[in-house]
Amino acid sequence: MRRLLVPWIALGLIACGEGSSTAPDLPDAGEVRESTCPPAPSLGEDPVDLAPWFRIRASGTRPRGLWPYESEDGPATIRDGRPDTSWKVPDDAEESWLELDLVPLLGRALPLASIAWQLDGAPPERVDVIGQGTCGGPEAFRLSWENPSMPLDLGNRPAGCLRIVLRPSGPLAVVSLSLSSRDADLAARTLDDPPPTPPTPPRCRDSGVIEGFYGIPWSFRERHDMLQAMASLGLGTYLYAPKNDPLHRSRWREPYPDDERARFHLLAQEARRLGLRFLFGLSPFIDYRDDKTDYQILLEKCRAFLEDGADGIAILADDIEFETSVPVDGAMGAMHVAVVHRLRQDLGLPPVWFVPTVYSDRRSVDWPGGRAYLQSLRDLDPEVVVLWTGPNTGNATLSAADLQAVTEAIGRKPLIWDNFYANDGGDGFFGRLFLAPYQGRTPDLPGATVGIAQNLSIQGALSRLALRTFGEWIRDPGALSLPELRRQAAAGEAEQARSRDPDEDADLLAGVMEVFDGFSSVDPPRDRAIEALAAAVVESLAMDQAPAPAAVGDLLEALAWRASLASRLHHSGVQVDLADELAFPLEKVRLEARIGRWAMGALAKRLGGDDASDLLARADDEALESAQRRYLVSPDAMASLLEAVRRFPAQDLGYRWLTPSPPATTCMAGVPLEFEAGAEGTHLRVAGLPGTVQVDLGRVRWTPPHGGHYEGVGVVWREAPDPGWGFFDVVLDCRDPCQDP
Name the band, by pLDDT with cuts 50, 70 and 90, for residue 10: very low
Average pLDDT of 180-197? 72
181: which strand partners? 48, 112
Give the domain-ending residue among 154, 172, 192: 192
> Do 137 and 212 have their domain in common?
no
Domain assignment present for residue 654? The answer is: yes
Nearest to 565 by CA among 733, 703, 687: 687
Give the Cα separation of 308 and 33 in Å (integer): 53
Q: Which CATH number goes with the domain that contains 702?
A: 2.60.40.10
Q: Greater confidence, 411 or 666?
A: 411
> Do 563 and 709 have their domain in common?
yes
Domain assignment present for residue 8? The answer is: no
pLDDT score of 325: 76
Nearest to 556 by CA among 361, 324, 344, 727: 727
Domain assignment present for residue 634? The answer is: yes
Stated length of the chain: 741
- Is the pLDDT at 506 greater than 70? The verdict is yes
pLDDT score of 74: 94
> Do 188 and 208 have their domain in common?
no
Cα distances (Å, whole numbers) of residue 103 to 53, 68, 573, 735: 9, 28, 10, 12
How buried is residue 542: exposed, middle or buried, by Cβ count under 10 Å (0-12/13-18/19+)? exposed
- Is the pLDDT at 48 greater than 70? The verdict is yes
DSSP SS3 for 276: coil
- Is the pLDDT at 664 greater than 80? The verdict is no
List phi, psi (to 5°) of 486: -60, -45
Q: How many CB atoms lie within 10 A of CB 429?
A: 9
Nearest to 68 by CA among 51, 93, 85: 85
Q: Greater confidence, 465 or 199?
A: 465
Give the domain-ending residue among 192, 226, 252: 192
Largest CA distance in the chain: 89
**Helix runs in 497-612, H state only:** 502-515, 528-542, 549-563, 565-570, 576-607
Nearest to 438 by CA among 482, 374, 504: 482
Cα-to-chain-centroid distance, residue 624: 24
> Do 209 and 235 have their domain in common?
yes
Share of the chain above pLDDT 90, in %: 81
Name the band, by pLDDT with cuts 50, 70 and 90, for residue 570: very high
Cα distances (Å, whole numbers) of residue 568 to 98, 104, 579, 666, 710: 19, 10, 10, 18, 8
pLDDT score of 20: 34
Q: Which CATH number goes with the domain that contains 225?
A: 3.20.20.80
Domain assignment present for residue 505? The answer is: no
Nearest to 337 by CA among 317, 362, 365: 317
Looking at the 3D structure of the chain, how many domains does it have? Answer: 3
Q: Which CATH number goes with the domain that contains 95?
A: 2.60.120.260
Comparing 31-35, 240-244, 473-477, the range with the smallest average pLDDT is: 31-35
Nearest to 572 by CA among 510, 627, 619, 616: 510
| Residue-wise pLDDT tens digits, 343-401 | 999 999 999 999 999 999 999 999 999 999 999 999 999 999 999 999 999 999 999 99
Give the Cα separation of 284 and 205 in Å (integer): 26
> Do 114 and 74 have their domain in common?
yes
Domain assignment present for residue 170? The answer is: yes
> Do 427 and 553 have their domain in common?
no
- Is the pLDDT at 133 greater than 50? The verdict is yes
> Do 209 and 186 have their domain in common?
no
> Do 109 and 172 have their domain in common?
yes
Find out whether 715 and 553 touch, Cβ atoms under 8 Å.
yes
> Do 477 and 608 have their domain in common?
no
Cα-to-chain-centroid distance, residue 584: 9
Computed on alpha carbons and rounded to an integer, the radius of gyration of the chain in Å comes to 28
Find out whether 434 and 423 touch, Cβ atoms under 8 Å.
yes
Nearest to 726 by CA among 689, 673, 665, 679: 679
Q: State the Cα angle at 122 between 629 and 155, rounded to 5°.
A: 95
What's 431's DSSP letter? B
> Do 602 and 683 have their domain in common?
yes
> Do 448 and 477 have their domain in common?
yes
pLDDT score of 13: 39
Cα distances (Å, whole numbers) of residue 496 to 226, 457, 465, 506: 11, 20, 11, 11
- Is the pLDDT at 203 greater than 80? The verdict is yes
Give the domain-ending residue among 152, 167, 192: 192
Nearest to 688 by CA among 700, 677, 672: 700
pLDDT score of 38: 78
Average pLDDT of 31-46? 72
Concatenate the DSSP letters of all residues of 672-705 into one string: -EEEE--STT-EEEEESSTT-EEEETTEEEE--S
What's 564's DSSP letter? T
Find out whether 176 and 150 touch, Cβ atoms under 8 Å.
no
Name the band, by pLDDT with cuts 50, 70 and 90, for residue 200: low
Find out whether 611 and 649 touch, Cβ atoms under 8 Å.
no
pLDDT score of 706: 93
Comparing 299-303, 531-535, 658-662, 690-694, the range with the smallest average pLDDT is: 658-662
Domain assignment present for residue 426? The answer is: yes
Give the Cα separation of 676 and 698 in Å (integer): 6
- Is the pLDDT at 31 greater than 60? The verdict is no
Domain assignment present for residue 506? The answer is: no
DSSP SS3 for 492: helix
For residue 271, give its domain range.
Answer: 204-498
SS3 string, 607-659, reads HECCCCHHHHHHHHHHHHHHCCCCECCCCCHHHHHHHHHHHCCCCECCCEEEC
pLDDT score of 22: 41
> Do 629 and 547 have their domain in common?
yes
State whether the Cα torsion 209-214-220-225 is positive or negative: negative
Domain assignment present for residue 621? The answer is: yes
